[in-house]
Structure 1
């Protein structure tokens, strides 16, 4: 099958969806399919670029160019590669800084309606969907919801995908049937990478962490999570703890978190690793005993950090705040995860059981092919529910 992915941006390491699309495309190539990628609103270019990213044909269109010129270039390029199926990987903030992307969506819909086999993958939905969210976010979210409903109503895709069960429930309440396409990790499991990570620790003069319970926080640190309860449990534990904080955060910074934790627990050993290449992060995930997720449990399926922990065989400590999306039982994630720990059950042992690392990309790619291979009728919804 010849598949075209459309996303906003393809700048490596700068856009999570762009990175995801590239990894998925590589997996499909391994399965002997043809894949191309169109980045239609790339902010990291001043001129358009057609290139090959590790044998994957791609076209990156600068957001500094007019939409009219981008549509003409896109149509010429799509007609040249003749895809059997087009999948639009959609993020509402990918086309407007506040998500008010009425015009871009109308323009891209008009382009894609020239092709019969088009599906949408919603990586994000509207903000403000949880009961606990602010009034401001709920108001903005109603605008986002209208835009998303307009997108589906106008385009009539053959299939709609989303990343988690909660989003499936929210879409269903708006009359939009969808399929689950879980997020896999952008950090591949690299056998032996733990040695690379240990070399970094040795170069920094960090030793003697083997006798402590090694906890790791990776990725974005949100402003709101169960921080106070986490601190309370750290104070109660009899184990020696070393906390590693890795990656970049555009919200609450690692330095701020370290300062807050040190005020409460001066003796706590905290090591900040900053942003690192994937091989070092894989080594970090193999080195620690337990990963801490700060995402709401109801949205874990869309978390690349959670996926990285799972794919590296790590026990996981849930420290995200529960959210009520009013979606029934679909609010619960992975109840059968045998290495899931709640803060109330904070482990005392230094050595934790791990499980065999898993590569779920192959299964996800096969699921996509199976679902779009069955695509016949289009998703048709009323724009306004009566």
Structure 2
């Protein structure tokens, strides 16, 4: 039986610098061991400076090609290179791994429309929307008016991409995105994000103080996250359950604004919460990330509850057995039911928070959701190209 050819289109293929790049690499590494040949084309790779293009194989594979096109060459040239590669391989499916800002600094992915228009109409398309357009804000400041304009432009482009390529299948990572697309007549299936951080067993025995709690926040800290209500409730729970000390650890790329927020929390806590300590690690290796996730008691998420399924950081916490504290509760009740209430691994910042913090424990033998998700991915794709 001849192998199936799939081409993945994304922004960059830089390893450990982009969640979508790591996502695609892991998917392809798995598919490559089965009846697939995969080609990954990064059409806006800002991590390439010295060459126009780099063509390699995925480490440890023979049938996974990586083609990285520098953002420094013209879009016309990148579109032509990609078009010719698609025509040469005649794939069963072309998968667009969509993040607006991966293709343009303003999130205006117009080059994708050009690529689709110039590519043969015989091509079968798949789109995975890792992100959609920026939602509008009612604030009438100049900054938010600009955001609204950009958001409307992003939405128009996303709808145009979908209508022009007429994808055989559309995936989204969460119910909120599914509802947003459905309101414009676009049907989609949910494919949750899996963890890009492997569980790496700790070689040495680490002694932990049983009368302390360790909280870890992994990745970006957004300006919309209000930590102060959370800290006040953790303090009440600490006293209620007789906990002596709470450690808060930030790991991964927080962003400059997130780093400042963390520093401000640290300064304030020294006065208000003397039993709390805060540490900032920043970008560290996968081994170190896995170590800190294993030695923590709780994960902290700054992601709105309706979008938890799209968070690779939340997936990493869950795959390491951590209960995840959700402090940004979305107003979408139906979405909340589907994403949170059916699972007992989330602790919501509500009236039950203090009790749950003392009763919800880590899972001793965490499981990786990757294999369950990738099987659904395979099943859905088979419907797309058959």
Secondary structure of the structure 1 residue equivalent to 2:160: helix
Change (3 A) 1:153 1:349: closer
* Cα contact 1:125–1:167 (8 A) shared by 2: yes
Change (3 A) 1:129 1:375: farther
User: What aligned pairs does 1:1-386 form with structure 2 within 5 A after superposition?
Assistant: 1-46=4-49, 47-54=52-59, 55=61, 56-102=64-110, 104-128=111-135, 134-192=144-202, 195=204, 209-236=209-236, 237-238=238-239, 239=243, 240-250=245-255, 251-253=257-259, 254-319=262-327, 321-324=328-331, 329-332=334-337, 333-344=339-350, 345-346=353-354, 347=356, 349=358, 352-354=361-363, 356-375=365-384
CA distance in 2, matches of 1:98, 1:138: 12
Structure 1 residue 99 displacement after superposition = 1.5
* Cα contact 1:165–1:331 (8 A) shared by 2: no
Structure 1 residue 318 displacement after superposition = 1.1
Secondary structure of the structure 2 residue equivalent to 1:334: helix
* Cα contact 1:310–1:357 (8 A) shared by 2: yes
* Cα contact 2:129–2:172 (8 A) shared by 1: yes
CA distance in 1, matches of 2:176, 2:69: 33
For CA contacts below 8 A with separation 6 or more, give which structure has more relative contact order. Answer: 1
Q: CA RMSD in A?
A: 2.5
Mark the runs of 5 or more structure 1 residues left unpaired by the alignment. 199-206, 378-386
CA distance in 2, matches of 1:131, 1:362: 41
Q: Point out the more displaced range, 274-283 or 29-38.
A: 29-38
Kindly provide the CA deviation profile for residues 102-139 of structure 1, in whole angstroms up to 9, marking residues without a partner as x: 3x122221244444211111111011157799554333
Secondary structure of the structure 2 residue equivalent to 1:83: coil
Change (3 A) 1:266 1:288: same
Q: Point out the more displaced range, 354-363 or 281-290.
A: 354-363
Structure 1 residue 286 displacement after superposition = 0.9
* Cα contact 2:83–2:115 (8 A) shared by 1: no
CA distance in 2, matches of 1:353, 1:249: 24
The aligned length equals 363
* Cα contact 2:254–2:282 (8 A) shared by 1: no
Mark the runs of 5 or more structure 2 residues left unpaired by the alignment. none
CA distance in 1, matches of 2:272, 2:282: 23
Secondary structure of the structure 1 residue equivalent to 2:384: coil
* Cα contact 2:317–2:323 (8 A) shared by 1: yes
Secondary structure of the structure 1 residue equivalent to 2:335: helix
CA distance in 1, matches of 2:36, 2:93: 12
Question: TM-score with structure 1 length normalisation?
Answer: 0.86
Secondary structure of the structure 1 residue equivalent to 2:194: coil
